[in-house]
Amino acid sequence: MTYPVTKSAAAAPKGDVRATHVGRPHASWALPGVLFFTFFAVVPMALAVYLSLTDWNGLGDPGFVGLENWKNLFTDPQLMHSLLVTVLLTVVSWAFQTVISLLLGVWAAGKQRNRAVLSAIFFVPFLLSSTAIALLFFALLDPNYGVVTGDTLGTTSGAFLAIVFVGAWQFIPFHTLIYQGGARQIPEVLYQAAAIDGATGLRQFFSITLPQLRHTMAMSGVLMVVGSLTYFETVLILTQGGPGTDTKILPYLMYEAGFRSYDYGYASAVATFLVIAATGLSLLLVRVTGFGKMNSVREGM
């Protein structure tokens, strides 16, 4: 490609060079952030794998024991039970929270005054910390002094549903907000076109709103899955894994093994297992929804 040699055109390629090389930050600017995250999140993950091969009681140095913790883990009937409870809790919470926050969020995306007022109230539970919310329901559900009569937390299904409900009560405001934001970004022209074609409100919801919200669903879904793996304080405060071991989710099993029985090796095996499960689940969600290719949310329009 040749350029006529005039003053202005000669300046242009020089400008391009600046834009592609000089104007771009050096990759080393990312280094502090990457190192910090690696040190406090990635290294501990690797360390968890190492500790799971050792026998460590928190004092002294960890001693190598090979796969013993893993053998114990996979022969421990409690593990399968905890895994089942964790998966069940995650799936039920995800389904419950997604349906409600999707409906509330799309509804709240309207600009009517009453919707704005209700949205402002819906948000209030999210202002309390998870600990405060767990304590609130611990108090309200106390069989002797609480305000809900009956021993809700003493039955298996009651305790399980209480955890699902408390998690939903806390996080639905947040996910409603995410869906509200997502719904407001759907171009109005899509609905106008659909209305001209005679599509009903319900049809518009399934053909426009839902597909347009798939990135929102992916992000909110990943946050819900990771979030429900972390219902640790809810379980600790509300049920302590009970009745019996019926609500002992994996993080709680790990906490008990490590910080109550001081068997950090075994706790690390549970933790490693948890990381693998969480990463696998999130990767699956990312793949299913195409979230990784998030160059433009409006692609294909």
Q: Which of 90, 93, 164, 182 binds another protein (CB under 8 A)?
A: 182
C-alpha atoms less than 13 angstroms from C-alpha of 84 in its C-beta half-sphere: 7
Helix (H, G, I), strand (E, B) or coil at 82: helix
Cα(185)–Cα(209) distance, rounded to whole angstroms?
Answer: 10
| Of 220, 142, 215, residue with least CA distance to 178 | 220
Sequence-distant (≥ 6) Cβ neighbours of residue 212 within 8 angstroms: 182, 186, 190
Between 95 and 116, name the residue whose CB sits nearer to another protein: 116
CA distances in angstroms from 226 to 99, 123, 174, 249, listed in the order given? 18, 21, 14, 13
Q: Which of 9, 10, 13, 47 binds another protein (CB under 8 A)?
A: 47
Taking the complex as a whole, the smallest distance from the CB of residue 113 to another protein amounts, in Å, to 7
Structure tokens at 92: 């039920």
Which one of the spans 90-98, 153-161, 188-196, 239-247 is the region binding another protein (CB under 8 A)? 188-196
3-state helix, strand, coil in the chain (%, to 5): 75, 0, 25
Determine, following the binding rule CB under 8 A, whether residue 22 of this chain makes contact with another protein: yes
Give the helix/strand (H/E) hosting 67.
none
Taking the complex as a whole, the smallest distance from the CB of residue 10 to another protein amounts, in Å, to 14
Q: Partners of 242 in the beta sheet?
A: none
Between 95 and 139, name the residue whose CB sits nearer to another protein: 139
Taking the complex as a whole, the smallest distance from the CB of residue 243 to another protein amounts, in Å, to 19
Q: Which of 72, 151, 226, 246 binds another protein (CB under 8 A)?
A: 226
Determine, following the binding rule CB under 8 A, whether residue 123 of this chain makes contact with another protein: yes
Number of residues that bind another protein (CB under 8 A): 118
| Torsional class of 300: left (φ above 0), alpha (ψ -120 to 50), beta (otherwise) | left
What DSSP state is assigned to residue 211? H
The residues in 75-114 that bind another protein, with binding defined as CB under 8 A, are: 100, 103-104, 106-113
Determine, following the binding rule CB under 8 A, whether residue 64 of this chain makes contact with another protein: no
Between 248 and 277, how does the x/- string for binding to another protein read (CB under 8 A)? ---x--xx--xx----x--xx--xx-xx--
Determine, following the binding rule CB under 8 A, whether residue 65 of this chain makes contact with another protein: no
Q: Which of 150, 292, 293, 299 binds another protein (CB under 8 A)?
A: 292
CA angle, residues 138, 143, 146, in degrees to nearest 5: 55
| Torsional class of 149: left (φ above 0), alpha (ψ -120 to 50), beta (otherwise) | beta
Which one of the spans 71-79, 88-96, 225-233, 240-248 is the region binding another protein (CB under 8 A)? 225-233
What DSSP state is assigned to residue 26? P
Taking the complex as a whole, the smallest distance from the CB of residue 249 to another protein amounts, in Å, to 10
Q: Partners of 64 in the beta sheet?
A: 54
Structure tokens at 230: 């972390």
Handedness of CA 113, 118, 122, 127 (dihedral sign): positive
Q: Which of 1, 121, 196, 301 binds another protein (CB under 8 A)?
A: 121
Between 134 and 173, how does the x/- string for binding to another protein read (CB under 8 A)? -xxxxxx-x-xxxx---------------------x--x-
Determine, following the binding rule CB under 8 A, whether residue 7 of this chain makes contact with another protein: no
Determine, following the binding rule CB under 8 A, whether residue 51 of this chain makes contact with another protein: yes
Determine, following the binding rule CB under 8 A, whether residue 42 of this chain makes contact with another protein: yes
Between 15 and 66, name the residue whose CB sits nearer to another protein: 15
